[in-house]
Amino acid sequence: MADRIEITINEWRVKADNREPLINVCRREGIDVPTLCHHDRIKPYGVCRVCMVKVSWGRKSKYVTACNYPVENDDVIDTESRDVMSLRKMSIEALLGRCPNEQEIVKFAASHGVTSSRFPPHKPGGDDCILCGLCVGVCNEVVGAKALGFMERGPEREVVTPFMEFPESCIACGACSALCPTTKMTMEHQKTEILKSRHGDIRPCRYALMGLYPGGICANNYRCHACDVDQKYREIAGDEHPIFIARTEITDGGEAA
């Protein structure tokens, strides 16, 4: 049992476990800290910098990312002061500038009051990836397939499959596309068929992998697009979520063939 400590968030005293990630405390207490690169099942990566908050100890203070900051006793945390908001908005503005045509990002930005960006896109039409690392994280840590990774550095950084080839280790679970906040990760019908023939129908489904479905192996043996977990997910995410669009394409194509 971890030590219980007390911290202050926005002038509220709250209890927490020692060195527990700050974002867990905030979510438990109903304090909204937005993120774009965090998922409960994946080790915090801390790169989108949207979950920035301020921690103070007496006169000293520092900006930290809530997703991976381990809280300590008597931390005074501020999640909504002006300077925190301006850092957060600037990060959102930068990502919106990078991907101006990604509906999820546009929606996310608008909900935080960012509707236009001074950052021009680096590619004509904008990029389709905010480099949040969720797909890489889920593939390496949760699925264990290691079919995705980062390539290059700085402005050229991008998510690719090993050696940019058709990945041998991919099991077509779709976890990356389910987590991807943009349209970067999609599943192509033909390639999915190849992977399906390689691994068969019985294999872990993405919901099981991500902990959304408790059963372990998908009850429907990959024909899971209509299972109730999918239904539940549809309720949360809506029909417009890229994964359902991608799913429909796969299914339609599959049946036609």
Partner 1 sequence: MKLTSPTQLDQVARDFRASLEGYKTTISLCGGTNCTACGCNEVLEVLKTELEARNLTYTVRLIVTGCQGLCSEAPLISINPDDVLYCNVEPGWIKRIVSDTVIEGKTIPDYCFTDPVNGTTYEKFSEIPFFSDQTRVLLANSPHIDPSDIRDYISVGGYRALAKALFEMEPGEIVDEISASGLRGRGGGGFPTGRKWASGAKAPGDHKWVICNADEGNPGAYMDGSLLESNPHLIIEGMIIGAKAVGAGAPGGGYIYVRNEYPLALSRISEAINEARRWGLLGNDILGSGLSFDIRINRGGGAFVCGESTALMASLEGKPGEPRPKYVHTVEKGYHNEPSVLNNVETWANVPGIILDGAQKYREHGTDASPGTKIFSLVGKVRHTGLVEIPMDRSVRSLVEGIGGGAPEGKKLKAVQTGGPSGGCLPVSQLDLQLDFDVLNEAGSMMGAGGIIVMDEDTCMVDIALHFIRFNTDESCGKCTPCREGLQEMERVLTHITEGKAEMDDLGHLEELGQWMIGGCLCALGATAPHPVLSTIKYFRDEYETHIKGHKCPGGVCRELIEYSVIEANCTGCGDCVTVCPTGAVSGLPDKVHKIDMLLCTKCDECYKACKFEAIGK
Give the separation between CA 188 and CA 195, rounded to whole angstroms. 11
How far apart CA 239 and CA 145 sit, in angstroms, is 28
* Residue 177 within binding range of partner 1, rule CB under 8 A: no
Q: Contact, 18 vs 4, CB < 8 A?
A: yes
Q: Is 82 in the site for partner 1 (CB under 8 A)?
A: no
| The amino acid at 209 | L
87 forms part of the interface with partner 1 (CB under 8 A): yes
Q: Which is nearer to partner 1, 52 or 187 (CB)?
A: 52
Q: Of 8, 10, 68, 220, which lies in the binding site for partner 1, with binding defined by CB under 8 A?
A: 68
| 209 neighbors 142 (Cβ within 8 angstroms) | yes
64 belongs to the binding site for partner 1 (CB under 8 A): yes
CA distance linking residue 133 with residue 156, whole number of Å? 15
Residue 113 near partner 1 by CB under 8 A:
no
Among 1, 153, 239, 255, binds partner 1 (CB under 8 A): 153
Q: Which is nearer to partner 1, 42 or 210 (CB)?
A: 42
Site membership for partner 1, residue 120 (CB under 8 A): yes
State which amino acid sits at residue 222. Y
CA atoms of 245 and 237, how far apart (whole Å) = 12
Interface residues with partner 1 (CB under 8 A) are 46-50, 52, 63-65, 68-70, 83, 86-87, 90-91, 94-95, 97-98, 118-120, 122, 130-131, 150, 152-157
